[in-house]
Amino acid sequence: MTRPLMQNGIAELERMFESSQSDPQILDALESELRFRSVPRAATLLNRVRKAMNGHPDAPAASQELLFGHDVSVPIQEAQFPTALPVQNTRESRKRETEPALIVSVDDACKILKVTANASWDSVEHSRRAIVELARPDRLEKFAEAKRKALQQDALEANAALKALFEARRAR
């Protein structure tokens, strides 16, 4: 089987289709060539060619729905959000309610995380993870109560420091 349109680009094939949608020979040639092409524009054009061959009116220009051979129409509804979200009464939510938000300066954040102000984000995150890792519940059980609270406080400060650095870098 020969492919006389193989040398033509997809733009040329689209122009051929636009200029002669009613010519069955050109539609057949386009269909036989487009079956060998797998780029989205070719798939869309193939779908349009097949619709034209079946007597359907010209399909709209390239769209993702046509690539899959069926129309996916989803009605758009306006999102409705509740005015107030219910508060979950869990130990974590109660704990978050009682803990004050830690506000940390950039200099303090660097000291807490033991990094410089111009350190890479990967090293900042690595340092934070190392501190927070020490406060994992499965690791805390072997320590005395005072040491547990100190490690947990260090983890909170490390997270607050990361947030402060993130906000400072985002503001730049």
Q: Is 103 a member of any domain?
A: yes
Q: Is 77 a member of any domain?
A: no
Do 49 and 111 lie in a common domain? Answer: no
Do 99 and 38 lie in a common domain? Answer: no
Q: What confidence category does residue 40 fall into, taking pLDDT thresholds of 50, 70 and 90?
A: confident
Which one of 27, 51, 67 terminates a domain? Answer: 67
Mean pLDDT value across the chain? 78
Q: What confidence category does residue 39 fall into, taking pLDDT thresholds of 50, 70 and 90?
A: confident
What is the CATH classification number for the domain harbouring 134? Answer: 1.10.287
Do 44 and 96 lie in a common domain? Answer: no
The pLDDT of residue 104 is above 70? yes
Do 98 and 167 lie in a common domain? Answer: yes
Q: What confidence category does residue 98 fall into, taking pLDDT thresholds of 50, 70 and 90?
A: very low
Q: What confidence category does residue 64 fall into, taking pLDDT thresholds of 50, 70 and 90?
A: very low
Domain interval for residue 61? 10-67
Do 55 and 124 lie in a common domain? Answer: no
Q: What confidence category does residue 59 fall into, taking pLDDT thresholds of 50, 70 and 90?
A: very low
108: nearest Cα among 53, 163, 67, 148: 163
CA distance 101 to 79: 31
Do 95 and 41 lie in a common domain? Answer: no
Q: Is 162 a member of any domain?
A: yes
How many structural domains comprise the chain?
2
DSSP for 26-62, written as a single string? HHHHHHHHHTT--SHHHHHHHHHHHHHHTTPPPPPSS
Do 151 and 102 lie in a common domain? Answer: yes
Do 95 and 167 lie in a common domain? Answer: yes
What's the confidence (pLDDT) of residue 70? 54
